[in-house]
Each structure stands twice: as C-alpha cells, then as structure tokens.
Structure 1
Amino acid sequence: MSTQILVVRLSPFFLEKTGFWFEKNFKDICQQYPNDYLLINKSQLTLLSDLVRKLLDLGYEKVQEVSFPGEFSQKGGVVDIFPVNFVNSRLAFRLEFFNNAIEEIFPLEKLEVLDEVKVRKILKAKLKSQKLFSGLKELKVGDYLVHLDHGIGKFIGLEKLSPEGPDYYVLEYAALDKLYVPLGLERKLSRYVGFTNPKISRLGSSTWQKTKKKIKEEVEKFAKELLGIYAEREIASRPPYLKDQEIESALASTFAFRETPDQTKALLDIRQDLLKTKPMDRLLCGDVGFGKTEVALRAMLMAVSSGYMSILLCPTTILANQHFQNFKQRLVSLPLNLEILTRLQSKKEQKRIVDRLILGQVDILVGTHRVLSQDVSKYLFNKGHGLLVIDDEQRFGVRQKEKLKKLRSSLDILSLSATPIPRTLYLAFSSLRQMSLIQTPPLGRLPIKTMISPWSEKKIKEAINKEITRKGQVYYLHNRVTNIENVKVFLEKLCPKAKIGIVHGRLNETKLLKTMTDFQLNKINLLLATTIIENGLDFPNVNTLIVDDASRLGLSQAYQIRGRIGRFSIPAFAFFFHPKKLSPLAQERLEALKQAQALGSGWQIAIRDLEIRGAGNILGREQSGSINQIGLNLYCQMLSEIVLRISD
C-alpha cells in the first residue's frame, strides 16, 4: 500500500528527468513548481471531479484503460494513473474513493511498457505532434473541434470566466453542455476534419473513451500491416542505379519551366532511393498542374540510363495517349525506344510492340491496364528490375491492383496521386511509406483570373473570340450529355471561327481518343465537354475555361476543373456562368464559389475537401469510418504515435 504519490506535469522539462531525480528533488518540486504537480495522500479530502480536472490540466490523457505513462482512467469511484515520473519503475497507481475522500492508494502490477529511453522519446513526440496536428488556425464559430479527453464539440467562441482571468475556448456538446478549455491547453484540441458532419459527443459519457480505444486498436493493426508489407520489401535487393548526368541534363534542358524547390526535392528523394540496393516504393502527391509528370519522366530516364526498362501505367487510354505524345516531343533528340500499348491499337500493332518487348527493344512503355494482361506482363522487365510509374493508382480496379501487387516485390515503384493530401497525414504516414509532396506551382505561372456572373451570350462570345484570336484554345463545360449537340449548334452560330469537338463519358472510346488527339494537335480549338475534363488532361495552350452552369458544380470540382487551365506563363481566364433563377442548393454552391473568389484564399476550402479525399485514397476505404468518428487530425496523431511505438 502507498500513502502518498507525486504526479508531475507532462512537459518536456520533466521528461528529461529520471526517477532518482524526482526522489532527490521532491521538496524543490513542491516549492519551485507549484502549478506543475499534484500530491495525492491517502485519506485526503477531495472531490473526484476536482482530481480529474487537475490531471487534465497537467496534460494527462483520459483513456478507457491505462497502458502508458501520461494516461489515467476513471470508472465510478476508481481512478488509475500512470505518472510520467514513474516511467523507470513502470508503476501505475489505483485510487479508490469513498464519499469525498481517497480511501486507498495502491500500485498496480508492473505494466509491460518499452524501455525508459523509448518511452520518454514517445512522450516528447506526443507533445510535439499534438501541436502539429491541432490545426486551430483561422478557427471560426461553428467549427467542430475534437477534445482529446471529451470528444467532438462545436466551437462557440472565446470567453473569460473572470475580468482578470485567462481566455478559454468554449465548446458546446450534446444537451447544450459547455466545456471551457484554457488557452494554455489548446494542444488537447484538434480541428475536426472528416468525410461527413460529426456526431456531437456527450460530456461525462464513457462512449468517447470506448471509441478512442477501439480506433487506437484499429490504427495499430493498420500500422502493423503496413510495416509488415514494407518489411517484406526490405528483403528484396537489386543493384544500385547508375548516374548519367549528361542524359539527365539533356532532358532537363527541354523543360519549359524552372524546377520548383518541391520538384527538386522530389527528384533528389527519388535519386537517393535508386542509388540504394533496396527497391523504391515512393508516393508522389501534388495538386493539378504542379509538375508530377515531369518528375516521373526524369525518374524513368534515370532507370533507362542504368539499363533498365521503365513503364508508365495510366488509368485511361486518353491519359496514356497524352503522356505518350508529350514524351515523344521531349525525348525526340535522345537515343531511346518509346512505345505505347492500349487495347485501342490494332492487333497487328499490339503484336509488333509485344515482339519488341520480347527482344528487349523497348526502353519506355506508356500503357493502360492492357500492359497487365498475361500475354504482355510476362515479357516486361526481362532483367528482373526496372521502374514502374503508376498514375492515379486509386483509379485502377481491384483485379488490376492485385496484379500490381505481384509485380511490386523487386521493382522500383513510383505512384503518382493527383489529389493533394493534408500535411498532417504526410507527417504521420511518411515514417511508414516513402513520400514526396509537390505543393507549389511552377515558377512564372500567372494566377487564373476568375469571373462569376449570370449567363451572358455576349460575354461567352467575347471570351471565345479573344482566346481564338491569340491562337489559344477553349474548354467549354456543359455537364448534360442529352442536349450537348444543341449547344454545339449554338456555339457554331455564335463563333463561326471556332472548330468544335465534343467529348463526354458516353462517347465511343475510339472517337473520344480521336477528338482528344485532334485537340492536342490544334485541329480543334474549342472542346465542348462534360466534367470528363476534370481528370488528368494537360494542354498548355488551353487558357480559357467557360462553365455554362456553375451552380451544378461543387466547390472542389470547380477548383479542379479551373486547375486545367493556366498551365503556362500566359494569362488564363475562367468564366463561371449561372442561371438567374436558382434552387436553394444551387444558390449555396454558387455562394461558396463567390466566397472562394472574393477571399482569394477561399480556394483553401476546396483544397481541404480534396485533401480529405486524398487521405481516403491513401488510407483506404476501411479507415474512413475511423476517421469520421474521431476526425483526421486526431487519427493522424494516433497513427504517428503508434508507428513510433511499434517501429524499431
């Protein structure tokens, strides 16, 4: 039995100290750090609620079951605490209350925790990660916040409880209960980011602790599975790639932009991966038009200059064809064999390419999932090594992904994601998987001038003629296939100089590809399209976008489509037109679009929405439920801590 225990604050200062230091400096702690400790005595009169509040103030986390230093739990009149000053002895304590007095204090069985040095490292990282993942900048009344110990509430403002006192974050919970969080404890708060609006927690309920415990177990299982996958790849080995500065410089000299710092860093990351003997498996994330394909092309050249084959795998024939045309232009002066393989080619042409693959005469192959067919895949990477670049992996089907897994063991893999991801996920995930982020647009790119107005025939005519006069091209977005031919007739009368092509999802794939090729070769200067243009298309000569009914688009969709123009140092214009009469939902969408335009930084809302989607793509559908229950920021914080705990 114990009669007294000291519980010190979870802080970097105390985490530097050993158990012996606490014993030796007991009196000094009590005198010099009056706000940073709690002294608990047997028979001490104290309210259970006051004890819990003090432990929360000292930075301890309330959990369902204590298993790690810095945690406490409460079940009825029983409180378990694992003080951070008892790390070396691995002792947690149980307090039993009777009425308003602590009747018993006794140590629990020694807990199975890591060694003292590792525990202190994890606790320091935890304090740091709580600040990193909180995301409280630009907090607005009505935003949802997650409190580590109490769950999800709604932020209703800052308040003082006394004229001279500190400010408190005020959170509203179920049954209109309020929680006051002092400004010094904001690390316990994180902004709720999820796929749906959250369910508000009830203060004092055990549901939040149970939810947190369940999700922690799921996150740990997920992290162990990922670590297992990457551990298997660690066994695989291949000779390091060679450096050919001359051929790399020759390709770099044909790039129309200066590399951004993010592109340079990504290329350096990839080069370092390829110079090792372990196969690379890197994820490259970035927004539309930020230069991921350029990084991929240069990586492919690194492989080819080392004597290995490179393959770019695309989710659609249109994308494969576009990449092939671009690569052909860029590689024209280099002694390389470039081919494309899709199911739309004739059988004779496909056989010619497969024959070349058998003879090892293809350096770079651009293709769709046709490349994964058995009659082709068995002839790929004859030397057993090579680089596979996967463009938008999440857009491949389950069967194709299974085939990709089989290819992965000894190949170098570079996966490209067109959807940006939150920095919090990058920080949590980067220790599990090699990742590079491209977050800045190419240097010299001009901002897109965006206009939102009621539908105007005059403005549409002016915008199209202005672009055609400067030898540019136009996207005209009309998102209804049923009457798209009528719109073509209208545009031909309005702008006789416009050479118009139509693309939409119901179009025959051969015709679709021909129209896109004609557009790429400037035989067409106005592409009348549905939202099919949202994904992956990159035509630097297209610098005017006209959306004839913006009220049908969500903000993030409008953002991505707008990102399809303005790819060069030429002024670009986006026109979002809308009907004069709008439904409430259309009005809401339009208001969001107007706010985004007025604020400038309002597009961050769209980016945040896309980042959540990106998080879902990377973590997988199975993790989406967990993210919704506790929010992405707390999920990432948990993932970061668990990876640190179970790695090594």
Structure 2
Amino acid sequence: AFRAIFKAAMDSKQTFYLCPTTILSNQQYKNAEARFKNFPIRMALLNRFVSLKDTKKTLKDFSEGKIDLLIGTHRILSSDVVPCDLGLLIIDEEQRFGVIHKEKIKQYKANVDVLTLSATPIPRTLQLSLSGLKSLSLIETPPRNRYPIQTYVIEENKTIIKEVIYKELSRNGQVYILYNRIDRIIEKVNEIQRIVPEAKVTYAHGKMSKREIEETMMSFIKGVYDIMVCTTIIENGIDIANVNTLIVFNADYFGLSQLYQIRGRVGRSNKIAYCYLMYNPSKMLNDTARKRLKAIQEFTELGSGFAIASRDLSIRGAGDILGSEQAGFIDSVGVDLYLKILNDEINKLKGLPSAIEPQENLLLNIDTHIDNKYVSDDDVKIEIHKLINTIDSYDQLLEVKTELEDRYGKFDDKILIYMYNEWLEKLAQKLNIQKIIQTKEYIELVLPPELSNNIDGELLFRESFKISSCFRFNYKEEVIHIILDISQLENHYVFVILDLLKFLFDISQRKLD
C-alpha cells in the first residue's frame, strides 16, 4: 500500500487512505510518517481527534494540492473534502464500511485506482477473485521476527484461564478476553477480577459511545490496564504489540474468517503469542462449528490467509442471501446465483442459450432480511442465517430461538416466521413435495405420486379442514394438489402450511412403521 502511495505521489497524484476506526487511522498515520520520513511526501490526518482549526487547514491544503496523502476515517468521504487531483483510493478493511459509505466509495472508483486491503480473507471475495471478477494479490511473507500464534481449542476451564493469564502477566504482557455478550460483560469482568485479583481489568463493547471506546482503548494501549474484556470490536485491526494472549469464550459461535481476524490481534511483536478458543463443555458442537475450529487450529502459520479463505469457502459456501436491503447486488442474492445471472447475461449478448436451467421451486416468498436494528454486523448476520439454516425440528427451532434471544435479545415476528419457514422447507424436502406455487391469492402444494396414491383421502380432507377451512383439493395427473386460499387466513400462511406438512409427515412415518 505504501509503495502504491509513493508511486502515486511521484506521479503528482493524491491518495485517500480510508480506515474504519479513529484509532486505526491514527496508527496508520504514524506508520506512514515512519515510512516516508526520508521522502518529500506531504501527509495529513483527518478524524474526530483532529481539532477544527487543523481540519480546516487540512481541507484547504488538500483541495489546493499541497497534501499528497490524506489518512482518515469515513470523515474523508464527506462532501467538504475536495481533492485537487486524486489518483489512488486505499480502503483498509473494506467489509467494515456501511452501505452509505460504500455508495460514496463507488463514486471515486469510477475515476481512480482502488486498492482494497484485508487481513480477513472473505469467501465471497475469494470467489470473485477466482472467477476473474476481481484481481488478487497475496502477501504471504510475514514480517521479520514474527512467530506463528499458538492456537488451542479447549473446553472452558477457570483453572486454565487463571494459568494463561498469570503466564502472560509474568512476562509483563497484556491479555485480551473476548466475551461477545454485552448484557453480561460486567459479570465476566468481575469473574476475571476474582480469578486474578491483582490485575487491572477494563472492558469495551459496541454499545459504549465512540469516545468511551477510544479512551478505553488508548488507556489499554498505554498499559494502564493488564486485561481487557471485550466484544468483537477488537476485530478492526488495532495493533498492540504488548498483547500476546487471547482468550475467546464461546468460540464456536464465530465464523472462520472472524476467528482468523480476531486471532490476528495478538502476535504483533517478536514474542510468541497464544490464542485459546474455548467452548461450553455442556454444549454439543455441530459439524460446521467443529470444522471451523479445526481449521483455525490447523492453519497457524503466518501468511496462511489464502488457505483459511479456501477452507471457509468450502465450509460456508460462496455467498449467503442476506435480504434485499443489504448493500450490493452480490450481498443480496449470494455469489453463486449472481455468477449464474452474470453468465446468463453474457450468453444473451453472445446469442447463446440461457445458462440458468429452470428449477421447480420449493421455497415460499418469505422476507429473510435481518434488520440492522437487531444486528448490524454483516458477519454476525451470516452466522444467524447459518444457525437458522440448521433448524430441522421443533426442538431445534426452540434451541435456536433461545440462543438468539440469549445472545442478541428478543426479535420480531419476521425472524420467527423465517425460522418456522426453514423448518417448513426441511419437511417439504423430506416429504418429496414436487413443487410449491405461490401467488397473491393462493399457495399450491403438489404432493409426490407415492404419497398421493397411498394417503387416506377422507382423513386428509378431515385433518386439513381442522387446520384451516381455506384448503381446497385437486387431483391432476395422478397426484394431489393442495391449494390454500391465503386472502382469508387469520394466521400467517407459513404456520398453516407447516401444520399441514407436519400432519403429512406423521402419516408417512406411520406408513413406514
């Protein structure tokens, strides 16, 4: 990145260096000062810590071409920041910027070179790169005197927690403890204080004001505290060389890329760093969580980001449907579908047949968007989608419901319907339902031939009308068509159809028995 800045400056072009946080922008400004101290590159910093007087001077100088490099937060995207001759835009941790900021970034992308930096390899970014839609460069050579982070996946254990904290404090180091439950973080702080009474413990989480977070982080950087209990806010690339032990509670809740990013917060010096990924001993890990934890433990070598991304791509898939209101077309539809649509459009321009084969639909038109008021972080949203996707029974639905409410608070009916719909889809697959047709007036289910021929018609009519009087039936081409008139329903149609499928599933199981 600094070489690109140097080249741009030598070509008399200006550079924006965009950071997601104030602290990170301060850190990168210091790095730039050290790197360019022997070169005639003029630079400035723009964030909320810079005084109004200095900000006005910076804006004036930048517009007049007296500044080559402007480093800052989203403040540099404001309308009053007018470059003289912008040639390069560098985005540090692009995935941490919101929709509004990305729209502003897109305006610059049309006219300048863009370099995106990320310590966290994201599956969809990798997929786009492998597909040729984005160019990709890998930096696999670590800095000098850096060692692989010793990573352990273990059950939560207070004795081990005490030992690893004392071990770090004995070499005058500091400790990160990641506990991603804001409502209980004070309890965790008190618990850690009881385990290590002589240590100075602080905490930070996303519901604190920006100023509180920044002041706490600055105090921790200066060594005022020995231990910081925090949420995933440490993910944003803040380097503290003296922090070389990380304890992560409930590590099975995090995505692989997120774990990789979090682990990267330690091991930023010539000391050997330790990362302890802990999980609740009373909880049975699902297969996906087990694969994630195994992968993060397996890939500890420095520069293993590409391997992590490839493994995450295989575990999680290339993209998830996050809902229509998410930023970017790819985020909305998922990368796999996007690439199919892209290929289809290319074929149309070439006069070739469509690349998308028609498929029977087993999905109801349900809003699966998770509102920012409930959870704003995209990575967490993806984890929620993955969690909901595991629902295969009523017991699992209750388990997921309890887990979400426990971690993020109560959710609205929209997410509840989404959860029940996931169970509905699994039942439809188990029953081999041929297709589900949905219009504004009705929903039609086409039963498979085997079930159509073996079911007791009188029993089907009787039980269906117990569920709802809005059901109608047709028998076409030797299969039963069940039609639900949705305009007269009192309950949401997902609950009504689910009750019908549960009845059909019970009938089919009895036949098997």
User: For the superposition of Structure 1 and Structure 2, which TM-score range results when normalised by the shorter chain?
Assistant: 0.5 to 0.7
1:608 aligned partner, one-letter code: S
Equivalent runs, 1:68-87 vs 2, <5 Å: none
Deviation at 1:459, TM superposition (A): 1.8
Cα pair distance change 1:523/1:645, threshold 3 Å: farther
1:347 aligns to 2:52 (yes or no):
yes
SS across alignment from 1:476? strand
Matching residue within 180, 186, 191 for 1:490: 191
Q: Which of 9, 14, 20 is the aligned partner of 1:315?
A: 20
1:332 shift after superposition:
4.5
In structure 1, what is the equivalent of residue 470 of structure 2?
Answer: none
Residue deviations 1:271-328, cap 9 Å, x none?
Answer: xxxxxxxxxxxxxxxxxxxxxxxxx122112222443322201233333233223334
Deviations 1:114-150 (A, max 9, x none): xxxxxxxxxxxxxxxxxxxxxxxxxxxxxxxxxxxxx
- Taking the aligned partners of 1:591 and 1:400, their CA distance within structure 2 comes to 35
Residue 578 of structure 1 aligns with which residue?
279
Secondary structure (helix, strand or coil) at the match of 2:229 reads strand
| Counterpart in the other structure of 2:42 | 337
CA contact (8 A) 2:89 2:112 kept: yes
Residue 520 of structure 1 pairs with residue 221 of structure 2:
yes
- 1:591 maps to amino acid: R
Output the CA distance in 2 between the equivalents of 1:414 and 1:392.
11
Partner of 2:251: 550
Residues 246-325 of structure 1: pairs in structure 2 closer than 5 A: 296-325=1-30
TM-aligned CA deviation for residue 626 of structure 1: 6.7
User: Out of 579, 587, 591, which is 2:290 matched to?
Assistant: 591
**Is 1:621 paired with 2:292?**
no
Within 1, Cα distance between the matches of 2:176 and 2:55? 33
Q: 1:406-431 deviations in whole A, cap 9, x for unaligned?
A: 334443322224443576643431xx
Aligned to 2:61: 356
The answer as to whether partners of 2:94 and 2:118 remain within 8 angstroms in 1 is: yes
Residues 457 and 482 (structure 1), Cα distance of their counterparts in 2 relative to 1, 3 Å cut: same
Q: What is the aligned partner in structure 1 of residue 139 from structure 2? A: 438
Alignment check: 8 A CA contact 2:8 2:88 kept: yes
Could you tell me how far 1:590 is from its partner in structure 2?
Answer: 5.6
Distance, in Å, in 1 between the alignment partners of 2:297 and 2:184 is: 33
Conserved in 2, the CA contact under 8 Å of 1:548 and 1:578? Answer: yes
Q: Relative contact order (alpha carbons < 8 A, sep ≥ 6): 1 or 2 greater?
A: 1
Distance, in Å, in 2 between the alignment partners of 1:392 and 1:350 is 24
1:333-412 → structure 2 map (5 Å cutoff): 334-343=39-48, 345-376=50-81, 378=82, 380=83, 382=84, 384-412=85-113
1:562 aligns with 2:263: yes
Deviations 1:508-563 (A, max 9, x none): 10121122223334444422210122233333332211113334334443333223
Contact 2:89 2:114 in 1 (8 A): yes
* Mapped contact 1:544–1:565 kept (Cα < 8 A): yes
CA deviation after TM superposition for structure 1 residue 635, in Å: 8.9
Change in Cα spacing, 1:349 to 1:486, as seen in structure 2 (3 Å) is farther
**How does the TM-score come out when normalised to structure 1?**
0.45
Structure with bigger gyration radius? 1
Q: Which amino acid aligns with 1:428?
A: S
Q: Is the 8 A contact 1:320 1:368 kept in 2?
A: yes
Aligned letter for 1:530? T
Pick closer, same or farther for the CA change 1:539–1:326 going to 2, 3 Å: farther
- Decide whether the 8 Å contact of 1:372 with 1:400 is kept in 2: yes
User: How much does 1:643 deviate?
Assistant: 13
Where do residues 76-155 of structure 1 align in structure 2 (5 Å cutoff)?
Answer: none
Per-residue CA deviation, residues 39-81 of structure 1 (Å, 9 max, x unaligned), is xxxxxxxxxxxxxxxxxxxxxxxxxxxxxxxxxxxxxxxxxxx
Amino acid paired to 1:592 = K
Question: How far apart are the structure 2 equivalents of 1:627 and 1:410?
Answer: 26
What secondary structure, in the 3-state scheme, does the structure 2 residue paired with 1:371 have?
helix
Which structure 1 residue ranges, 5 or more long, are not aligned? 1-295
1:478 aligned partner? 179
Is the 1:386–1:412 contact (alpha carbons within 8 Å) kept by the matching residues of 2?
yes
Q: 1:194-245 CA deviation, whole Å, 9 max, x = no partner?
A: xxxxxxxxxxxxxxxxxxxxxxxxxxxxxxxxxxxxxxxxxxxxxxxxxxxx
Shift of 1:386: 2.9
Residue 428 of structure 1 corresponds to which residue in structure 2? 131
Which whole-Å CA distance do the structure 1 matches of 2:300 and 2:218 have between them?
Answer: 35
CA distance in 2, matches of 1:627, 1:486: 41
* Structure-2 change in CA distance of 1:550 and 1:616 (3 Å): closer
On the 8 A contact 2:174/2:242 being kept in 1, the answer is yes
Q: CA deviation at 1:330?
A: 3.8
> CA offset at residue 596 of structure 1?
3.5
Measured in 2, the distance between the counterparts of 1:579 and 1:546 equals: 13
C-alpha change, 1:390 and 1:441, in structure 2 (3 Å) is same
Confirm or deny: 8 A CA contact 1:419 1:614 kept in the other structure.
Answer: no
Distance in 1, matches of 2:330 and 2:102, equals 16
Name the amino acid aligned to 1:321. Answer: N
Aligned to 2:204: 503
Task: Name the structure 2 match of 1:201.
Answer: none
Q: Write the distance in 2 (CA, Å) between the matches of 1:625 and 1:409.
A: 24
Q: 1:553 to 1:427 in 2, by over 3 A?
A: closer
For residues 578 and 424 of structure 1, what CA distance do their matches in structure 2 show?
30
Q: Which residue of 309, 314, 332 maps to 1:607?
A: 309
Structure-2 separation of matches of 1:401 and 1:363 = 23
**Paired residue type of 1:540:** A
Shift of 1:624: 6.3
- Distance in 1 separating the partners of 2:239 and 2:99: 27
* Overall identity of the aligned pairs, in %: 38
Q: Secondary structure at the match of 1:437?
A: coil
**CA separation of 1:562/1:339 partners in 2, compared to 1, >3 Å: closer, same or farther?**
same
Among candidates 525, 529, 551, match of residue 230 of structure 2: 529
Instruction: Note the residue ranges of structure 2 that are not aligned, 5 or more in a row.
Output: 321-326, 352-513
Q: Report the alpha carbon displacement of residue 448 of structure 1 after superposing the two structures with TM.
A: 1.9
Q: Deviations over 1:581-617 (max 9, x none)?
A: 22x4x45566335544676699999633644889659
Q: CA deviation at 1:506?
A: 0.8
Kept in 1, the 8 Å contact 2:148–2:300? The answer is no
Cα separation, partners in 2 of 1:626 and 1:483, compared to 1, 3 Å: closer
Matches of 2:38 and 2:311 in 1, distance apart? 42
Is the Cα–Cα contact under 8 Å of residues 344 and 510 in structure 1 kept in the other structure? no
1:20-31 equivalences in 2 (<5 Å)? none
Query: Secondary structure at the residue paired with 1:361?
Result: coil
Q: For the structure 1 residues 404 and 552, does the alpha-carbon distance in structure 2 shift closer, same or farther, using more than 3 Å as the test?
A: closer
Counterpart CA distance in 1 for 2:131 and 2:182 is: 43
SS at match of 2:228: strand
Deviation at 1:455, TM superposition (A): 2.4
SS of 1:466 mapped into structure 2: helix
Q: CA deviation at 1:465?
A: 2.2
Q: Within the alignment, does 1:469 sit opposite 2:148 as a pair?
A: no
When residues 400 and 473 of structure 1 are mapped into structure 2, their CA distance, relative to the original with a 3 A threshold, is same
Identify the structure with the greater strand proportion. 1
| Residue pair 1:385, 1:412 contacting (<8 A) in 2 also | no
User: Normalising by the residue count of structure 2, what TM-score does the alignment of the two structures yield?
Assistant: 0.56
For 2:335 and 2:293, how far apart are their aligned partners in 1? Answer: 30
CA distance in 1, matches of 2:138, 2:131: 14
**Hey, what's the Cα distance between the residues in 2 that align with 1:622 and 1:458?**
46
Secondary structure of 1:479's aligned partner: coil
Name the SS of the counterpart of 2:71 in structure 1.
strand
1:337-371 deviation per Cα after TM superposition (whole angstroms, max 9, x unaligned): 33221245443342232233345433321112211
| Structure 1 position 539 matched with structure 2 position 240 | yes
